[in-house]
Amino acid sequence: MRPIEELVNHFKEKELALPIWFEGGAIKLIDQTKLPFEEEVCTITTISQLGEAISSMMIRGSGAIGICGAYGIFLAALNSKGSSKEVREAGELLKSTRPTAVNLMKTVDEMVAEAVGSGDELISRVEKKAVEILNRQLDFEYQLGAYGAELINDGDTVMTHCHSGAFGGAGYGGRAISVIRTAHEQGKNIHVYTCETRPYLQGARITALELKKFGIPHTLITDNMSGFCMSEGMIDKIVVGSDRVAANGDLANKVGTYMHALAAQAHNIPFYTATSSHTIDFNTRSGRDIEVEMRNATEVTTFKGIPTAPEGTHALYPSFDITPNGLITGIITEKGVISSPYETNLKKVIDKLTV
């Protein structure tokens, strides 16, 4: 059995909710567009298939698509019998699928950097790096969960937006759900308000599914109810995930995050993002420099092929928005909770990692 398959078996023994894994020479992933009513496993045998799965959001979530980068480059190495040229081409294809998600780009670059030599030597190097990245992602989830749980008090109500959980990571809790799940496992009596997250309804379909599975009490609300809930004193803290954190602490996350942060500031509610150091992008000075992925407007005017607006209606779908650093109380990472001034303190965390 290959080392990467041994690792997958080890993860399964931990009863993790794996969104993607390697088995029998192919990538297996759960089609997240079918959740919560079907858990359909798809088999991916080519890089073009994996790229389409990422673009169509069959697989999504910052941590999970980073893992796609690791598995994808390993698959390209196997399929090409160790051709560095074909591995590099596969990397460029994968990086083009979700332009806002820096975790995918960084992971692909890490993997491609190991694609030296040729044949079995290249395949072995790439596989070893993939195993390292997969272990690291899971460690991130446990560690940032522990730091974030320190911010959650017994009796708190916590709001989250979109899905930043097990199916969006290595299987424990991704980012925001790692914090919430760890607090729950510590015995804290918490209640979660999860926003449904139009237009893909990741909060309703996937976050609610995970909270139910983990036995965490929760209430589903529409995105436009968050201000009401805050004004009524129903929310104690907000924890969201992240797809990219700029060098100054500006946050790119699922569209709708910004308006929740504005409402939180108006009501003096702590607003946190849970992320990994891998998602901090020092090559991006501020949120203004982050490319926001614009998705097809038909995803707003339809849902699962069913029209939700009159034919010919013009629609807009920025997949992410930018939350300015001044609205963020703290950035939860696997190295601790970082507070303002972010431009200085984020760099201190990264410096610690490289010592």
**pLDDT tens readout for residues 63-77:** 999 999 999 999 999
- Give CA–CA dist 63/175, Å, rounded: 8
Q: Would you state the pLDDT for residue 348?
A: 82
Residue 54 sits in the same domain as residue 68: yes
Count of domains observed in the chain: 2
Identify whether 217 is preceded by a cis peptide bond (ω within 30 of 0). no
Q: Would you state the pLDDT for residue 352?
A: 63
Residue 169 sits in the same domain as residue 239: yes
Render pLDDT for 281-297 as a digit per residue (tens, 0 to 9). 999 999 999 999 999 99
Residue 266 sits in the same domain as residue 345: yes
Residue 178 sits in the same domain as residue 95: no
Residue 85 sits in the same domain as residue 146: no
Tell me the average pLDDT across 21-26.
94
Tell me the average pLDDT across 84-92.
96
Least confident interval from 129-133, 257-261, 302-306: 302-306
For residue 329, the number of C-alpha atoms closer than 13 Å in the C-beta half-sphere is: 16
Q: Are residues 111 and 263 in contact, defined by beta-carbon separation less than 8 angstroms?
A: no
Q: What CATH number does the domain containing 221 carry? A: 3.40.50.10470
Higher pLDDT among residues 146 and 8, named by residue: 146
Element (H, E) at 302: strand 302-303
Q: Are residues 227 and 141 in contact, defined by beta-carbon separation less than 8 angstroms?
A: no
Residue 218 sits in the same domain as residue 89: no
pLDDT at 222 over 90: yes
Residue 132 sits in the same domain as residue 107: yes
pLDDT at 279 over 90: yes
Domain boundary among 89, 115, 141: 141
- Give CA–CA dist 74/72, Å, rounded: 5
Residue 62 sits in the same domain as residue 186: no
Q: Would you state the pLDDT for residue 353?
A: 55
Directed axis angle between helix 119-149 and helix 3-13, to 10°?
20
Q: What CATH number does the domain containing 111 carry? A: 1.20.120.420
- Give CA–CA dist 144/275, Å, rounded: 8
Mapping DSSP to helix (H, G, I), strand (E, B) and coil, where does residue 115 land? coil
Residue 150 sits in the same domain as residue 18: no
Instruction: Look up the pTM and report it.
Output: 0.95
pLDDT at 132 over 80: yes
Residue 111 sits in the same domain as residue 93: yes
Render pLDDT for 171-190 as a digit per residue (tens, 0 to 9). 999 999 999 999 999 999 99
Residue 161 sits in the same domain as residue 219: yes
- Give CA–CA dist 202/113, Å, rounded: 33
- Give CA–CA dist 129/112, Å, rounded: 10
Q: Are residues 116 and 84 in contact, defined by beta-carbon separation less than 8 angstroms?
A: yes
- pLDDT band per the 50, 70, 90 thresholds, residue 101: confident
Tell me the average pLDDT across 27-54.
97
Residues 258-273 as b/e (b if ≥16 CB within 10 A, e otherwise) read: bbbbebbeeeebebbb
Domain boundary among 141, 160, 193: 141
Tell me the residue range of the domain where 40 lies: 3-141
Q: Would you state the pLDDT for residue 355?
A: 40
289 annotated active-site: no
Tell me the average pLDDT across 111-136.
96
Place of tokens 């692909």: 108
Residue 187 sits in the same domain as residue 90: no
Tell me the average pLDDT across 291-314.
93
Choice among 223, 236, 243, 281 that is catalytic:
243
